[in-house]
Chains A and B, each alone.
Chain A
Amino acid sequence: MVMKNAKNAHFWQIDHKIKNILEVKGVTILPSPEAWEKFKWTRKWLVKKPKQGYFIWIKNQVNFPLFACISIAHKNIRQELRNLLIIEENLKISLQGTCNALKKNLSGTHEAQGKIILKQGSSLKYSHIHSWGEKDIVEPNYEFILGKDSKLDYGYKTLFAPKKLRINNLFNLSAGASCNIKITANCVQTKAEIKDILFLKGKGASGIINLRLVGGKDSKVLARSQIVADSESKGHLDCQGLLTDKKSEISLIPELVCKHKLAQITHEASIGKISQEQLNYLRTRGLTEKQATDLIINGFLKI
């Protein structure tokens, strides 16, 4: 399903090669090394000259979803991506980012560092979808910089989790900015470390982080989520884990740091298992135990 769409991608990279870049009016799309050469100001965000990755600079309103796709197609590929997305003031943008392995046994490494910059009053709906093989190592590391009164709706989902998954997200919110973060991962034989920091810098900033993590088939999942309130702002963490086998482990560590007396920050965290009652119920609806388990997991991962 992912590859069928890739042909329509505005930026499409396979292994280390740019497969395609589609022109969009009012948008500059380039490989990030080229942007680093062409636009000196990008060096504020891309410290070193990147080896690979995308640069997407949105200057005018685009009324359809933009699509970036980065795939691994061959064995033992190591991608070191440096991505930069900039949305100019008051634009309302939708983006789908898909990163995947085209086969299950490629033993690839996908290391991505990115900066997503939303300028004043802009809005981004970003659907970030990952689908990996069982031997891959995946390390996305993104910083979201939200300008005044900007709005981010970010959903990260792993359809198939890799062997190792290390996620680092930092959300920096200026005054009046808001974000709704949804991170879902169905971990099967996966070692996952997920770290999210929501930094409420400006007055009136608000954000929610929702985590839904499934640990199955000998998985080890560690999620640290933090809200730091530096102003009169609001934030909430909702971390939930679901263990689906005896050998797996999930650790959820929510942390609240309040540096302003008028800030309101809260959290909730829970880890549960699939109840026998739910399984039996669905089996009396004709589903096998496996089908019932999958349905319950899919439901849990929907936020």
Chain B
Amino acid sequence: MLLEIKDLKVQGNGKEILKGINLQIKKGDVQVLLGPNASGKSTLCHAILGSPKYRITQGKILFRGKEITRLTPEKRVKLGLALSFQSPPVIKGVKIFQLLERISSTGSLQFKKNEPHLLKRDVNLDFSGGEKKISELLQVLSLNPKLVIFDEVDSGLDLKRVKKVAEMIKKELICKKISVLLITHSGAILNFLKPRITNVMVSGKIICKEKNYKKVLKTIKKYGYEKCKKCPFLAD
């Protein structure tokens, strides 16, 4: 197993947000985590990456067989974890290409040709929704990851851009057997990436694990996440 999360409880600002998460991701796996706003999806992403903003009160995170629950974010990244942010902060005066050169594990900028106009701009300064996603993708690819988590991968994008981002994820990650965990609350990107397992998170718990993402999306679209709560086949 590449990533294994066991009974994880996490607090933010003294309040319990994640209430016992269990999740397993294999090598080359594509999974999605769906859930309404404020269900704890982003907290889970940041807890996996070791953000000091959150406190793990119970449970374990294992990555490539090693316990990483107390590791610093940078050490987790070195092991092969990467996170694409939903709302990345602006770093004034630092150009995207400078950041990529700095963080690139190979020391080479293989994506230099792809987005020349973006590379010369300050990190996340006045980026459109689509530019943010492309910039995040370029950064995580530079880290030579084993597992990439995309927080709200399709938020703020029109369908054309969702397709473009999905194609890049497919080409650069999925086809290379790099595992992907997609976090979304709309599910627009799933038709392009076809996840193996769809997880549904409500109120800090994963309450559903389903192979057929279309079935889950259909249910959510028709009845909302409230229906998931009443499902007789709850995950936990």
Contact = CB atoms under 8 A, between A and B. Distances in A.
Interface in B102-132: 102-103, 105, 122-123
Interface stretch (A24-32, A62-70, A123-131, A279-287): A279-287
B74 A288 contact: yes
B89 A283 contact: no
A301 B91 CA distance: 12
B143 A286 contact: yes
Interface in A136-173: none
Given A285-B77, A285-B139, A295-B102, A280 B94 contact: no
A18 interface: no
Given A276-B53, A295-B102, A283 B73 contact: yes
B22 to A, nearest CB: 23
A45 B105 CA distance: 56
Interface in B42-76: 46, 49, 51-53, 72-74
Contact of B88 (A281, A287, A298, A299): A281
Given A276-B53, A288-B74, A295-B102, A282 B143 contact: no
A5 interface: no
Chain A contact residues (Cβ within 8 angstroms of B): what range? 20 to 34
Contacts of A285: 77, 99, 102-103, 139, 143
B91 A283 contact: no
Most chain B CB atoms below 10 A, which of A281, A285, A301, A303: A285
Given A280-B52, A280-B53, A286-B77, A299 B94 contact: yes
B78 to A, nearest CB: 6
B89 A281 contact: yes
A4 interface: no
B93 A277 contact: no
Interface in B148-187: none
B83 interface: yes
A281 B135 CA distance: 13
Contacts of B46: 280
A299 B53 contact: no
Contacts of B102: 285, 287, 295
A300 interface: yes
Given A286-B74, A287-B102, A295-B102, A281 B85 contact: yes
21 contacts: A277-B89, A281-B91, A284-B73, A284-B82, A285-B77, A285-B143, A286-B78, A286-B103, A286-B105, A286-B143, A287-B74, A288-B74, A295-B99, A295-B102, A296-B91, A296-B94, A298-B93, A299-B91, A299-B93, A300-B92, A303-B93
